[in-house]
């Protein structure tokens, strides 16, 4: 019974030596190897677009951190045969490990990152809540720079490269991995 109160305060003791960051970001989403397959004579691909999202970072040691986040990517599903485009979404959730070149508390913090993600490709006429999407797991890596502009406000620049299987398993001739390059800028709070 005496152990329960101690266990309740354990997370606070662990967090006391850490910093947390909460940021929003926006940028571009560039897709390559984006031909996603065909359905009979119709051939489909995904086009470049934009993204907006948020990240939560927990810096657990002087030079290391963990980041969780979500991004909404807007793209176009293109019917290459008919040359028609339809707006669609890619919902992305991710976890990344961060390795910094400077210690926690520094004004400028370059970093390298790698992790895992899922992309939910939501075709035109459906929503992520209706279950109409195609979810693919993948890996990502990249780097960036965080700059504190005040003790609690920061700006960040990210470049990340995501790779995962192609969506919509009912399509034929789906070869290779779809690749997505994120280039973004973000603003955040550091506590």
21-56 tens-digit pLDDT: 999 999 999 999 999 999 999 999 999 999 999 999
Top-confidence range, 61-65, 113-117, 131-135: 113-117
Which of 55, 47, 4, 65 shows the shortest CA–CA distance to 25? 55
**Burial classification of residue 133, based on how many CB atoms lie within 10 Å of its CB (0-12 exposed, 13-18 middle, 19 or more buried):** buried
- Architecture per CATH, domain 15-190, reads as Beta Barrel (2.40)
Q: How far apart are CA 22 and CA 8, in angstroms?
A: 24
The number of beta carbons lying within 10 Å of the beta carbon of residue 22 is 13
Lowest mean pLDDT among 100-109, 120-129, 142-151, 169-178: 120-129
**Alpha helices by DSSP H, the chain:** 3-15
Could you tell me which residue, 61 or 44, shows the higher pLDDT? 44
Q: What values do phi and psi take at 125, rounded to 5?
A: 85, 0
User: For the residues 140-154, what does the mean pLDDT come to?
Assistant: 97
Could you tell me which residue, 124 or 186, shows the higher pLDDT? 186
Please state, rounded to an integer, the average pLDDT across all residues of the chain. Answer: 91
Q: Is the pLDDT of residue 131 over 70?
A: yes
**Rounded to two decimals, what is the model's pTM?**
0.88
């Amino acid at each position: 019974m005496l152990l329960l109160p101690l266990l309740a305060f354990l997370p606070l003791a662990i967090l006391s030596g850490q910093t947390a960051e909460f940021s929003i970001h926006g940028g571009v989403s560039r897709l390559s190897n984006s031909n996603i397959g065909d359905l009979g004579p119709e051939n489909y691909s995904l086009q470049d677009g934009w993204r907006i999202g948020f990240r939560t970072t927990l810096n657990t040691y002087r030079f290391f951190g963990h980041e969780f986040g979500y991004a909404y990517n807007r793209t176009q599903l293109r019917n290459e045969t008919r040359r028609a485009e339809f707006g669609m979404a890619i919902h992305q959730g991710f976890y990344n490990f961060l390795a910094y070149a400077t210690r926690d508390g520094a004004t400028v913090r370059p970093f390298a990152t790698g992790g895992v993600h899922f992309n939910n490709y939501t075709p035109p006429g459906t929503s992520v809540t209706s279950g109409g999407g195609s979810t693919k797991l993948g890996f990502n890596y990249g780097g960036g720079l965080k700059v504190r502009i005040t003790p609690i406000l920061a700006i960040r620049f990210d470049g990340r490269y995501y790779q995962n299987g192609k969506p919509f398993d009912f399509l034929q001739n789906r070869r290779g991995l779809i690749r997505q390059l994120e280039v973004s800028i973000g603003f955040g709070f550091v506590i």
